[in-house]
A and B are shown apart, each in its own frame.
Chain A
Amino acid sequence: MTQILKSIEVKYFAILREQANLSEERVEVAADCRTYGELYALLKEKHSFTLPLKMIQVAVDDRFASLDHEIRESARVVFIPPVAGG
């Protein structure tokens, strides 16, 4: 059994919100999932997201972060699909 290490909150916008059919969820992150990039890969499989990782940015606690950063306990994570403001 994998030990649960971190509990985080994930928010979705636009196409990710529709494909997950959720605007947010709480996710328990296992020890073998280290970075936000790896987390996206897991969620992509879970919700059948169509966007590849390279088209995604991540914000942690309302600031842009790197997908290579290590996941922090209690982080508020937003995966950001390509934007189209204006």
Chain B
Amino acid sequence: MFRIQSAEISRDELIRVLQNPRAGALVVFEGWVRDHNEGKAVSSLEYQVYEALAKTEGEKILEEACRNFNLHQALCVHRQGHLRLGETAVWIGVVASHRDDAYQASRYVIDQIKLRLPIWKKEHYLNHDAVWVQCQDHATHVHFEEADYYAKQAKIVQQELLTRAKVLVVGAGGLGCPVLTSLAAAGVGKISFVDFDSVSISNIHRQPLYSPESVGEKKVVIAQNRLLALNPFITLQGHDARVTHANVDTFILGRDLVIDCTDNLETKFLLHDACFKLGVPLISASIHQFEGQVRTFIPSRENGCLRCLFPETPDDALIGNCNDFGVLGASVGAIGQLQAHEALLFLLQGTNSTAEATFYLNLKDLSQMKIANFRREGCACCEEQGGMRAVQAGGVNCGEDESLEIDLAQLGGLDHQLVDIREINDTDLEIFLHSCHESESAATAAAQKKIVLYCHRGIRSRHWVKEQRALGHSQVYSLRGGACSL
């Protein structure tokens, strides 16, 4: 809720409105009338507001913050009229499950308010004439149409395919910066990205989302703000985390494509194996000084994987990385852009040329190679994916896994509820399932209503059903073949 008011702001009342049992963090920002500005003693402030427009624009800013930072609620009150020193001119409160989201959202709301709301401030001074504050930085902000933003690519791409794409980018460093920038600018609709690192001064030459003033800050925070400023029409979610065996599946599930921009083999193989297990395409790139490579893995195709080449994960100590060997920003930028380009082609066409052959580029002499991918007989990673494909096609009996799935035909006479989980995030799904179990706990197993989850192809829903079964909930099923079978 966004409000303009002349009366003083009552913070206790506002905080009461934000109370929420699901929230783990409240961040409040208060803008106060201070007694000086640019060396002049200020005696009071006067705010003039174009109310109709400020309200609609203010609501928009809060909606954007809720969407981009997983907020439960956001509230903002801005004063108008004459304010004395020490009074609160603007009050912002945001609540989220986690503090990172709340901190970032609070910052986003105040920055956008200063940039976009038709609110003007006149400063009254002790020893000078009063002036309307004209902030030069904010003078160029204009309001644009989304279609105009993509006008020059609309002639050659079907924008809708990019707008509805959901992509995960792992790593916001040398490869991640160009990849994130190009994907955001191209309008990939939902981008989530993961990085655990903070900005250091030696990152910036090859990671141009950051600047010296962001040294020491979390990369995901700075990158998210920069990327949203670059393209306000997309949804972005940065995760300050390390990708591990324990969390890798939750990052990948529900994504159309994963882009590996990491700089170490351990994480590259971890992502690769998880993508094959879950059937999600992956584009991986790496660079060593002047030599880079890009490869696309599409698990549903039978043209091999990284485990066909390296059954055992090679030791990182054997190869080194950009920090150890050094690299030019332009070199890693070039490979990152190639990777981004392959990602866009994949989203637009469903395939690209690096899905057939790994592309190697030597940036020193511009020599290049394309080495056809091959599949090693007996590769466990490919075999597992083969089993997965068969299950999706409904053709193979996979022992205990078979009972996780159910067909529309089988559901005929049974009491059931079909649940489309494609637009439901993990947290909300968990809450929903919990409430189902609560309401059915009194019924006998046979009388329980069956909950049938489905997603696009039945992969994410199967994963959820497996977890639910492990918790003892036998009435939850995954729809065989997913939405495609409906």
Contact = CB atoms under 8 A, between A and B. Distances in A.
B119 interface: yes
A83 B90 contact: no
A78 B132 contact: no
Interface stretch (A28-36, A37-45, A59-67): A59-67
Contact of B139 (A55, A62, A85): A55
B287 interface: no
B216 interface: no
Contacts of A84: 114, 119-121, 132-135, 138
B135 A78 contact: no
B118 A59 contact: yes
A62 B115 CA distance: 17
B53 A82 contact: no
Interface in A62-86: 62-64, 78, 80-86
Nearest to B56: A62
Interface in A1-28: 11, 13-15, 17-18
A63 B52 CA distance: 9
Nearest to A78: B50
Contacts of A59: 50, 53, 118
Contacts of A78: 50, 53, 118
A46 B430 CA distance: 64
A84 B140 CA distance: 13
B365 to A, nearest CB: 47
B384 to A, nearest CB: 53
A54 B139 CA distance: 8
A78 to B, nearest CB: 6
B119 to A, nearest CB: 3
Q: Could you tell me the dominant secondary structure of chain B's interface residues?
A: mixed
A13 B49 CA distance: 8
Given A14-B122, A59-B53, A82 B113 contact: no
Contacts of A54: 139-140
A39 B435 CA distance: 60
Nearest to A82: B139
A81 B121 contact: no
A18 B48 CA distance: 12
Given A13-B48, A62-B53, A63-B53, A83 B132 contact: no
Nearest to B119: A85
Contacts of B132: 14-15, 18, 81, 84
Given A11-B50, A13-B48, A14-B48, 11 more contacts: A14-B132, A15-B120, A15-B134, A57-B141, A78-B118, A82-B134, A82-B138, A83-B119, A83-B120, A83-B138, A85-B54
27 contacts: A11-B50, A14-B120, A15-B120, A18-B132, A55-B139, A57-B142, A59-B118, A62-B56, A63-B53, A64-B53, A64-B57, A64-B143, A81-B134, A82-B135, A82-B136, A82-B138, A83-B135, A84-B132, A84-B133, A85-B54, A85-B90, A85-B113, A85-B114, A86-B31, A86-B90, A86-B114, A86-B119
8 tightest A-B CB contacts, nearest first? A85-B119, A14-B120, A64-B143, A62-B52, A15-B132, A84-B121, A84-B133, A85-B117
Interface of A: 11, 13-15, 17-18, 51, 54-55, 57, 59, 62-64, 78, 80-86
Interface of B: 31, 47-48, 50, 52-54, 56-57, 78, 89-90, 110, 113-122, 132-136, 138-143
